[in-house]
């Protein structure tokens, strides 16, 4: 049996196939699109606040970067007596970015956060929330911001 000689050409084609695969995989990975905000439920602060885990008949909701997730399946984390209950019933992007439960960080204000915190927020958004929890809508502030961008 003759073995394939490892010529520069072979190395080149193997590396371009790998590159192509990486590009394809990242496209597939990014394809988990967010739902269309124009057709989604809108949660103002009062509506979202009702879903803070205190009423067992309501789903537990939490927003990150204006996207509202149903985190009821993580009741152990977010329920009334859970360690992260302070994060729910609101948009707690700042707290998640900073991994902080300080009441002053339990809001959606990202001003002044370092790139490291913003990157960490994006990673948690994708790897934890998008991966684990269904999206049920958007915050009113998110929708308002989209409208001003139009």
47 membership: H or E segment, kind and range: helix 45-49
Strands 41-43 vs 135-139: parallel, antiparallel or unpaired: parallel
Strand partners, 91: 63
Cβ closer to ligand HEM: 44 or 122? 122
Beta-carbon contacts of 54 under 8 Å, excluding residues fewer than 6 positions away, are 80
Q: Is 113 in the site for ligand HEM (CB under 6 A)?
A: no
Beta-carbon contacts of 40 under 8 Å, excluding residues fewer than 6 positions away, are 135, 136, 137, 138
Q: Is 101 in the site for ligand HEM (CB under 6 A)?
A: yes
Per CB under 6 A, contacts with ligand HEM among 1-60 are none
Window 59-98: contact mask with ligand HEM (x via CB under 6 A): ------------x--x--x------x--x-------xx--
Q: Which residues bind ligand HEM (CB under 6 A)?
A: 71, 74, 77, 84, 87, 95-96, 99-101, 128, 132
């Amino acid at each position: 049996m003759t073995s394939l000689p490892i010529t520069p050409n072979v190395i080149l084609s193997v590396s371009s196939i790998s590159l192509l695969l990486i590009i394809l995989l990242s496209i597939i990975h990014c394809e988990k699109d967010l739902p269309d905000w124009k057709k989604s439920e809108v949660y103002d602060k009062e509506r979202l606040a009702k879903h803070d885990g205190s009423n067992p008949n309501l789903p537990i909701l939490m927003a990150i970067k204006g996207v509202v997730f149903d985190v009821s399946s993580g009741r152990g984390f977010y329920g009334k007596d859970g360690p992260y209950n302070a994060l729910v019933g609101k948009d707690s992007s700042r707290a998640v970015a900073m991994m902080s439960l300080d009441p002053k960080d339990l809001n959606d204000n990202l001003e002044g956060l370092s790139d490291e915190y913003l990157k960490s927020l994006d990673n948690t958004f994708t790897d934890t929330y998008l991966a684990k929890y269904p999206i049920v809508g958007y915050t009113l502030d998110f929708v308002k911001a989209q409208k001003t961008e139009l």
